[in-house]
Structure 1
Amino acid sequence: MRRTAILLAAASAVATVAMVKYGGQEFTPGPPPVRAFAFDLAGRIAADQRYLKIAPGDATVWAELGLGYVEQARVTADPAYYPKAEGALRESLRLRAAGNDTALVGMAALTGARHEFAQSRDWAIKATAANPANPLAHGLLSDAYVQLGDLTKAEKSLQIMLDAKPGVASFTRAAHFFRIKNQFGRAANALNLALGAAAGTADLADIHCRRGELAWLTGRPSLRAYEQALDAQPGYPAALAGRARALAALGRGKEAAHAYATAVARNPEPQTLIEYGELLHALGRKAEARTQFRVFRGALKLFAEGGVVDDLTAGRFEADHGDPAVAVTHLAREWIRRPTNEVADAYAWALHRAGRDREAIQYARDDTALAAFHRAGIERALNRNKDAERSLDRARKLNPNLPNLSHTPRIEVANGR
């Protein structure tokens, strides 16, 4: 058995779910970056655009441009790049339909970024058929299976990627899988392997951010990990947001608020906007919190216009800060699309907030600290107090950082309030 196969056999592997909680919200970073561009991304995009004006029939460069747009959307949190990516990738496929695994990989990455996970799976399967030796195709297929709740197939696809190309992209995906299974020590080992394979500052920044998220999960908020990420790449968006979360978890609220303001100015990602609003509310700055939640609604609308389906984030927000009935509608749709534990927890909590506890308990989980905490709240509402205490103990065991296991008070912001 090869060394990379041993990694999974001895530790079990696959992609990236971290739960960082401030005020009852769960932070779930997306899958590892496509990593097709470890250099100046904006410069590469500009060069491709210039080249295609001269040689518009080059299918490979159209595909590379599409992948660049997908990565630029991730880095900048600007969903306007997604339609551009789709246009470039479809032009590549029009020019060369057969054997164009680069464009097929691009479509898998694009649909995954848009949370169209069934479509991402289908595009990735086509990419692996077009070129079984393309490691990124197998990695994206693994990502899609994770999001669709099929961890057995996800692990198989990741193993193929690891065997074909052990490196940052495959090791960070392995860390993701370990974290899903609460195997934090193994996740840390996978991230150490990723550090050893890092090829540039973007890799280092990404890996240090993931180390920070893992430290939080194990009850040790780490500013140092995010500072290392920012040393590697100043202004790295995920590091700015992670540093703000760590400051909040350490009780340094005013510093955290300033850090969040910097993070959302650089990268107005919806989940970070929610967290910033929750922190402002916790600091008594309620008018500013409401403003931030209105910004969140605007950001979510922009993402929808870019083709991103995000009923999970919308449902979580509505459950705690808007209309729980609307949250249930969002999450019922999400549950049909991807019946994962993460979605089940959010759906259960929305049903609870809507007063539908007997339905909620059917979806309640205890695989993460936040899920166990939510389950305890539902069990308490059903007068199952002994069960609730067990769930609370489970939550504390999984993550001692949960601040008194209290939940943020609901803030009315529906209809612009």
Structure 2
Amino acid sequence: MDVMPQQPPQSHDPSRRPPLDASDFSGASALSALRDPASEDGVPPLSLRTTLRRAALGVVAGAVLVTGAVVAVPDDGKKAAPPPVPGPVSRALTATAAGSPASLSDLTALIGDRQQWVGTHPSDARSWAVLGTAYVEWARRSADAAYYGRAEQALKRSLEVRPGANGNTAAWVGLAALANARHDFGTAKKWGETVRARQPKQWTVYPALIEAYAGLGDRESVKTAVERFTALRAGVPALVQTARMYLDRGWREDALANAQDAADRAATPAQKAECLALLGELAWERGEPEEAVAQYGAALRADRAHHPSLAGRARALVALGRTDEALRDYRAALAQLPRPEYMLALGELYESLGQEEEARGQYAGLREALDRDDAQGVDNALLRGRFETDHGDPDAAVDLLDAEWARRHRSAAVADALGWALYRSGDPSAALEYAARAVETGGQNASYAYHLGVIQKALRDYGPARRNLEEALRSNPRFSPLDGPAAQEALDG
């Protein structure tokens, strides 16, 4: 299906399913095309009932992207969806219209409702945009990347019915969010800036722009976008975005003030859990694992489906030496939300406990998960590079991360990972520049300071090495079950 010029450049990966032909989106065939992927080779069945048992990464940006589809497309008076009746669909639309995350059950109801509607109203651009952006949110919150392909098809169908240039900027916002979810930050930036140029007061586009700029390492553009978002749509979502910006800059007190304000003002269980989880993350970054455990526990009491809080609590429990409880929480999180980063964290915990066979099992599962994501167009080069650096082939990690840097994915996280990979591959001189940049731009991150200190020590720059190792251990002395003891050993040396 040709949707140019709205369609951004796409990679030509033969392993990915081609877009559906326009004839697949008529009447009931549209619904079946979106709801019966089980017949496709290599794509798992996408049963919402089954997937609901896995859980949720409840992100405010994801809620806002659905909002964009709900509020940004003017009604043309033709074949538009009727007002929702009170119930889960209405609650989902109400939550997202406020820029807040919907509950998992309400999001499920919204998807089912829009699937049914477009099956009989295939020319309703707005409903296709709602459906596509809801698929993006579901994929994020279930760790099921197979939904990204569904999202792409629905958003393209929306643009086919009504091009973005004719007012369908909601589909463009959805495509920006989809690109961010796949870690294609350059494409997300292009879509977001296209919307902003046409409708600078369209507040729903700013969370997608903030995420894209952060992925590209453009801190000044992040700041500008956060300020603009706050001016256009002050409230809990803007406070969360502001807190995250301050956290990334290492301004912990400012981050805490905004996150606490957001938590105090949160109006729904899903929103409350998101804010409390952010407070848990801030406590962890400050090296206060007891407080982190308390905040993550509060998030889970607010919303039992906020499974990222299980993984966050597990990390903090490791720092407290409560490894049995940590193993319990990691396993529970992975049972509901099988994200590759949780597999890596659990594998490293097993390794720190001397359980080598269990660690190898997690690392094997991690590789399989990354391969599945690759097949759905997700760029996991950063996580794969980190894994290969410490548990695989550092030279391969350098190649992966160098390619990310060439794509202008120049966040502090990529700089740190590339520097560490270069060091581990035997080139500390080349590593120094990237590691120093990560510490300079990445806030008070204990892992970044540890990596820089080790690299400086290898270069016999002992004074700065000692300062950075001390900073890592002062900032968060138990930042990693493997690297925390290694940092102390390096400092002792």
TM-score (norm 1): 0.88
| Map of 1:68 onto structure 2 | 134
Correspondence for 1:186: 254
Q: Distance in 1 between matches of 2:461 and 2:198?
A: 54
Q: Match of 1:89?
A: 155
In structure 2, the partner of 1:168 is 236
1:90 positional shift: 0.8
Aligned residue for 1:402, secondary structure, equals coil
Letter in 2 for 1:187: A
**8 Å CA contact retained: 2:182, 2:378:** yes
Q: 2:180 aligns with which of 112, 128, 132?
A: 112
| Superposition deviation, residue 383 in structure 1 | 1.9
Q: Is residue 2:294 matched to residue 1:224?
A: yes
Whether 2:412 is the aligned partner of 1:341: answer: yes
**311, 322, 331: which one pairs with 1:241?**
311
Q: Secondary structure of the residue that 2:272 maps to in structure 1?
A: helix
Specify the SS of the correspondent of 1:156: helix
Whether the 8 Å contact between 1:101 and 1:127 is mirrored in structure 2 is: yes
Q: Distance in 2 between matches of 1:33 and 1:228?
A: 22
Which among 379, 383, 393 is matched to residue 456 of structure 2? Answer: 379
The one-letter amino acid of 1:207's match is C
Say whether the 8 Å CA contact 1:93–1:103 is kept in structure 2: yes
- The residue aligned with 1:214 is 282
Contact between 2:273 and 2:302, CA under 8 Å: does it hold in 1?
A: yes
Is 2:471 the counterpart of 1:394? yes
Cα distance in 2 between the residues matched to 1:348 and 1:153? 24
Distance 1:286 1:300 in 2: 21
Q: Name the aligned partner's letter for residue 316 of structure 1.
A: R
Q: Secondary structure at the match of 1:169?
A: helix
Q: CA deviation at 1:389?
A: 0.5
Q: Give the counterpart letter for 1:374 in structure 2.
A: H
Counterpart in 1 of 2:29?
none
Question: For the residues of structure 2 that align with 1:402 and 1:198, how far apart are their CA atoms?
Answer: 29
Identity %: 38
- Letter of the structure 2 residue corresponding to residue 66 of structure 1: G
Give the corresponding residue for 1:33.
61
- Residue 193 of structure 1: how far off its partner (Å): 2.4
Structure 2 Cα separation of the partners of residues 48 and 407 of structure 1: 52
Match of 2:485 among 392, 406, 409: 406
**Structure number with higher relative contact order (C-alpha < 8 Å, ≥ 6 residues apart):** 1
Aligned counterpart, 1:50 = 116
Higher mean C-alpha deviation, range 35-44 or range 201-210? 35-44
Shift of 1:333: 1.1
Contact 2:58 2:141 in 1 (8 A): no
Contact 2:58 2:270 in 1 (8 A): no
Q: CA deviation at 1:31?
A: 6.7
In 1, Cα distance between equivalents of 2:380 and 2:120? 38
- Tell me the SS of whatever aligns to 2:434: coil
Read off the aligned partner of 2:274 and give its amino acid letter: D
Mapped to 2, the partners of 1:112 and 1:307 lie a distance apart of 11
Is the 1:100–1:130 Cα contact (8 Å) retained in structure 2? no
Q: Which residue of 2 aligns with 1:80?
A: 146
Matched, 1:137 2:208: no
* 8 Å contact kept, 1:31–1:173: no
1:126 pairs with one of 184, 194, 214: 194
How many matched pairs? 380
**Alpha-carbon distance between aligned partners in 1 of 2:468 and 2:179, rounded to the nearest angstrom:** 36
Q: Aligned partner of 1:285: which letter?
A: Q
Relative to structure 1, is the Cα distance of residues 147 and 208 closer, same or farther in structure 2, using a 3 angstrom cutoff? same
What SS does the aligned partner of 1:204 have?
helix
| Aligned amino acid, residue 406 of structure 1 | P
Cα offsets for 1:186-205 (capped at 9, x unmatched) = 10111122223323111111
Could you say which residue in structure 2 is the equivalent of 1:16? none
In 2: Cα distance, 1:331 partner to 1:31 partner = 26
Listed one character per residue, the Cα deviations across residues 336-379 of structure 1 (whole Å, up to 9, x for unaligned) are 22122221111010011111111111211224221110011111
Displacement after TM superposition at 1:30 (Å): 10
1:298 alignment partner AA: E
C-alpha separation between the residues in 2 aligned to 1:131 and 1:219? 42
Q: 2: distance between equivalents of 1:120 and 1:30?
A: 20
Stretches of structure 2 lacking an aligned partner (at least 5 in a row)? 1-56, 67-95, 97-101, 488-493
Q: Residues of 2 paired with 1:400 and 1:282: CA distance?
A: 16
Tell me the secondary structure at the aligned position of residue 304 of structure 2. Answer: coil
Q: Distance in 2 between matches of 1:149 and 1:31?
A: 20
Task: Describe the superposition over 1:252-293 as per-residue Cα deviations: whole angstroms up to 9, x where unpaired.
Answer: 111111211111111110111100011111122110110010
Contact 2:428–2:455 under 8 Å retained in 1: yes
Counterpart CA distance in 2 for 1:363 and 1:72 is 35
Instruction: Please show how residues 309-388 of structure 1 align to structure 2 within 5 Å.
Output: 309-337=379-407, 338-365=409-436, 366-367=439-440, 368-388=445-465
- Note if contact 1:277-1:289 (Cα within 8 Å) is conserved in structure 2: yes
2:338 aligns to what? 268
Is 1:201 aligned to 2:282, yes or no?
no
Runs of 4+ residues over 3 Å off in structure 1:
29-33, 400-405
In structure 2, C-alpha distance between the alignment counterparts of 1:361 and 1:31, rounded to whole Å: 34
What's the counterpart of residue 103 of structure 1?
Answer: 171
Task: Please give the alpha-carbon distance, in whole angstroms, between the structure 1 residues aligned to 2:58 and 2:341.
Answer: 11
Deviations 1:189-227 (A, max 9, x none): 111222233231111111111110100111111211111
Q: Secondary structure at the match of 1:355?
A: coil
Secondary structure in structure 2 of the residue aligned to 1:52: helix
Q: Which amino acid aligns with 1:355?
A: G
Instruction: State the one-letter code of the partner of 1:380.
Output: K
CA contact 1:99–1:130 (8 Å) conserved in 2: no
When the two structures are superposed, what TM-score results if normalisation uses the length of structure 2? Answer: 0.74
Query: For residue 277 of structure 1, what is the amino acid of its counterpart?
Result: G
